[in-house]
Structure 1
Amino acid sequence: MNTMVTGAAAFLGRFEGLRERLPGGRTPWVAKLRAEAAESFRAQGLPGRRIEAWHYTDLGVLAQLGFTEALTLADEAPALPPARAAHRAVFVDGRFAPALSQLSAGAAPLAEALDATQGRLGALAQTLPIVALNTMLFEDGLVLDVPAGVDAGEMELLSFATHAGRAIAFHPRHLIRLGEGARLTLIDTSIGEAEATYLHNPVYEIAVAEGATLSHIRIQREGRAGFQLSTVLATVQAGGTYDNFTLNAGGRLVRNEIHVALQGPKAACHMNGAQLVAEGQHADTTTFLDHAAPDCASRQTYKTVLAGRSRGVFQGKILVRQAAQRTDGYQMNQALLLSDDAEINAKPQLEIYADDVKCSHGATVGALDEAQLFYLRARGIPADTARAMLVEAFLTEAIEGVTNPLAQEALSEAISGWWQKEAV
């Protein structure tokens, strides 16, 4: 039996054993949603490298680890980073932790609010195998609604993975909806204990209404033995804006997949990010931006720094439909290789069916500038410090577009000193 089928069988076996104990297991519409997802996953299995979208990322190792669910909450509260915002939703091993959380109005754990999500849960789900895996096995997540005209300020979403003594998997489902003219900054952080082996498979269904603005700052700092496969599915209506910045700075194997559809005139999307990939790590950012309406704008800039024997991937596709006249789209991917053993695979794509557009894309790959390094060394700066300064300068440019002070602080802390701590 090949790896893809073996991996599917293991997860499907978990589903069959848990299906009635999962949230909504005996609720007809939830049971139907899960069963349909299971059939989709059964037909597709874990994606393999023969699938074009997964050509550079091999999930074969997931089939070998025998993940199980964390059926009970951790005995002790984990040591979490200090709160940055007044409101915080904390999930430990995929389960909502009420004692560690302070929810805002309009926020609730999915396991408690499941009945109210009928017709909404799964509305944006596509026929993606990793989304199907999440749908059949999700246990909890965040449901967040910001009413029309409300500026909700900042909120934190924090996922923490513990060392359970075995390989565990959790599949949170987050539903975020902004009403007309609403605003929110969501600082979304994933961390895990260094020795923990786990799979974190979050799916986000995000709806941004007319004139609303969501700034979604994602900071991925999973444990070095952890895996993360995340999928963002977002729709943006007329005059709305979805800003996504993702920092990949942890995990053994990580894939950040983002699908955004601009569905109304003058909608906008900014998808930017940075990947810090050290020895033995694999980081994959894959984006799909669907310009489905006229007069929309999009910007994508991703920077990747690779050290040791590491591998990075960037795949970005912009689709401009025939109705999307006067589209303005830009995409750039830049990689900095700090080692002869590092590897980057870049695949930018444009697919355009409209004739009045302004679209461009590009990719660059290079090493540290020896002239700049010599300049710093000549002024008495040690070699490692000089390299760290140049790496941080390269990355700082990536986060300049993040305007929220709390989010900038969180990103700067994650990036600061990365060379000395990880790229050794």
Structure 2
Amino acid sequence: MPSNKKHLLPNNIQENSEAEWLGSLFRKAVEDIERSGMQGTMLAEAWRFTDLNSFKVFEPIAATNTAVVSCPKFFAELDAVELHISNGALIWKDTFPEYVDLFDLADRKIAPSWLTEALGSAINTEMHPFAAINTTAFSGGVAMRIRKDAVMKKPIILLVDTQANDKIIVANPRVLVVLEEGAVVDLIEVHTGSGIYINNVVTELIIGKNARIGHYKLQTEDTDAFHIAMNAAHCAANSIYDNFALSTGAKLSRNEISATLDGIHTKYSINGSYLGCSDQHMETVTFIDHAKPSCVSHELYKGVLVNHAQGVFQGKILVRKNAQKTNGYQMNRALLLSKEVKINSKPELEIYADDVMCSHGATVGELDEEQIFYLMARGISKKQARAILVSAYVEEAINYINNLLIRDLFTMVASNWMQQNITDTQDINGS
């Protein structure tokens, strides 16, 4: 964050300060912004790969609502229910089953107890300054609860769209998902937009015992935009969380994912792919806290960078002393297709238990010239051969999406990006 810690605070924080049900949460976030900002050593280390001076062009103007925007066309044939957030505010929702409770976070008068107990419980705003800003300034968003043992038959599409028009704006959408014991749902979070803006989004997930969620995120925002995202989960015993994030948009994007595995036999999987071109900066930061025994975490991120793009991966697995029988895997792989691209990887393990199976690593590579030659020998052009190999590389991560229909949609998005950015790009060897 810039040295002026209030620089990105929009002019609507008074609304949150006056909301009775936000009281203590709001005050703590304000104190955290004042006390820490980006001055602490740990925070400075976490943001050291990001040029925060670029945020100084922004004025603290709160986003205002815009018209309803349709989901991207590749989701048109998916049988789903939808929620639309525009410039930080919930503006449209489908009819949901009776076992799903929805709450518009723009309502400042009263909130149900399930919401007030859960909101903010998965995030430490002292360590996440942009999440603190969101907490003080969000003017809307949505909270949803899937009730005990309910199985959501249709996936939920959450469209988060930001339209800057002729003003540079800061949007602070807030999303809360609560799964009670035994609940099951698939959630697709789609981020789109146009213009110059910051989309500072926070998504919290409270996952009850024996609950399961597939959470799939697609970020295709305007290449003039800034996307700062915090995805925080609290996972109870025997719960399953499957996450996949595909990022192709924004001038600067930072996708931060954290979780506390707070019950035995929890399964937590976060996978993704970042596809960067031009001068995009694409950053992924993950933190998995194995707080209880016999939990499994899996993490695979695969990046593709062309032109002058920069990729960053920072991942940490923490295994606490009593978290015996932990199984944790973390890997970041980056494919560099131009001479000017840059990648920074920082995988990390911090283990205090002695009976664990944990591994981490990072690799950087180029396309295999022998494989390209093999395809060209069968009548395929060099450009198309490269696109085929890159697609296969990315699909290794996409294949972790369990829902086959959703997997196909993400594969289509990645394939479209390949056709636009790989086949016409000079390779790293200059040929």
User: TM-score w.r.t. structure 2 length?
Assistant: 0.91
Q: For 1:80 and 1:29, how far apart are their aligned partners in 2?
A: 32
Aligned to 2:224: 225
1:308/1:342 contact within 8 Å kept: yes
Task: Quote how far apart the aligned CAs of 1:111 are.
Answer: 1.7
Q: 1:346 aligns to what?
A: 345
Matches within 5 A, 1:137-156: 137-153=137-153, 154-156=155-157
Matched residue type, 1:392: S
Q: Give the C-alpha shift of residue 376 in structure 1.
A: 1.4
| CA–CA distance in structure 2, aligned partners of residues 48 and 394 of structure 1 | 38
Distance 1:336 1:118, change over 3 A: same
- Structure 1 residue identity aligned to 2:68: A
Q: Secondary structure at the match of 2:31?
A: helix
Q: What residue identity is the alignment partner of 1:27? A: A
Q: 1:132-211 counterparts in 2 under 5 A? A: 132-153=132-153, 154-193=155-194, 196-211=195-210
Partner Cα separation in structure 2 for residue 225 and residue 47 of structure 1: 27
Secondary structure of 2:383's match? helix
**How far did 1:102 drift?**
4.3
Comparing 48-57 with 62-71, greater Cα deviation is found at 48-57
Q: Name the amino acid aligned to 2:118.
A: R
Is 1:108 paired with 2:109?
no
Query: How many Å apart are 1:4 and its aligned residue?
Result: 2.1
Does the 8 A contact of 2:21 with 2:111 survive in 1? no
Q: Is there any run of 5+ residues in structure 1 with no aligned partner, and where?
A: none
Moved >4 Å (runs of 4+): 46-50, 100-104
Paired letter, 2:395: T
| 1:4–1:48 CA contact under 8 A, matched in 2 | no
Supply the AA of the counterpart residue of 1:190. H
2:420 aligned residue: 421
Q: Which residue of 1 aligns with 2:7?
A: 10
CA shift, 1:417, in A, is 2.8
Q: How many Å apart are 1:171 and its aligned residue?
A: 0.9
Displacement of 1:85 in angstroms is 3.5
Judge which range, 115-124 or 126-135, deviates more. Answer: 115-124
- Which residue pairs with 1:87 in the alignment? 81
Query: 1:33 matched to which residue of 2?
Result: 25
Task: Give yes or no for contact 1:176–1:205 (8 Å, CA) kept in 2.
Answer: yes
**CA distance in structure 2 between the partners assigned to 1:147 and 1:192 by the alignment:** 32
Are residues 56 and 165 of structure 1, via their aligned partners in 2, closer, same or farther at CA, if it must alter by over 3 Å? same
> Which residue identity is paired with 2:129?
P
Using a 3 Å threshold, how does the CA distance of structure 1 residues 368 and 47 change in structure 2: closer, same or farther? farther
8 Å contact from structure 2 (residues 8, 170) kept in 1: no
Letter of the 1:170 counterpart: A
1:363 is matched with which residue? 362
1:85–1:155: 8 Å Cα contact kept in structure 2?
A: no
Deviation of the 1:103 alpha carbon: 4.3
Question: For the Cα contact (< 8 Å) 1:47–1:129, is it kept in 2?
Answer: no
- Aligned partners of 1:148, 1:197: CA distance in 2, in Å? 42
Partner of residue 334, structure 2: 335
Q: Residue type matched to 2:81 in 1?
A: H
CA contact (8 A) 1:259 1:289 kept: yes
User: Hey, what does 1:292 align to over in structure 2?
Assistant: 291
TM-score, with structure 1 as normaliser: 0.92
Indicate the SS of the match to 1:9: coil
- CA deviation profile, 1:324-344 (whole Å, cap 9, x unmatched): 011111111111000111111
Corresponding residue of 2:408: 409
Correspondences of 1:360-399 after superposition (within 5 Å): 360-399=359-398
Shift of 1:162: 1.6
RMSD: 1.9
For residues 174 and 65 of structure 1, the distance between their equivalents in structure 2, rounded to whole angstroms, comes to 24
Displacement after TM superposition at 1:157 (Å):
0.6
- The one-letter amino acid of 1:266's match is H
Structure 2: where are the runs of 5+ without partners? 426-431
Q: Distance in 1 between matches of 2:215 and 2:254?
A: 17
Shift of 1:382: 1.7
Q: What is the deviation of 1:107?
A: 2.3
Matched residue type, 1:219: L
Deviation at 1:129, TM superposition (A): 0.6
Q: Which amino acid aligns with 1:51?
A: A
**CA distance in 2 between partners of 1:264 and 1:80 (Å):** 36
Q: Distance in 2 between matches of 1:25 and 1:132?
A: 13
- Post-superposition offset of 1:365: 0.6
Distance in 2, Cα, partners of 1:10 & 1:293:
39
Residue pairs, 1:54-65, within 5 angstroms = 54-65=47-58
Conserved? CA contact 1:68–1:169, under 8 Å:
yes
Percent identity over paired residues: 37
* 2:429 match: none
Counterpart in the other structure of 2:309: 310
For residues 227 and 284 of structure 2, the distance between their equivalents in structure 1, rounded to whole angstroms, comes to 12
Within-5 A mapping of 1:225-264: 225-264=224-263
1:44: how far off?
2.8
CA contact (8 A) 1:314 1:346 kept: yes
Deviation sequence 1:14-52 (CA, Å, 0-9, x none): 3xx4233x3x54233424432331221123335799811
Give the aligned partner of residue 123 of structure 1: 121
Distance, in Å, in 2 between the alignment partners of 1:226 and 1:36 is: 29
For the 8 Å contact 2:188–2:217, the answer to whether it is kept is: yes
Q: How many residues are treated as equivalent by the alignment?
A: 411
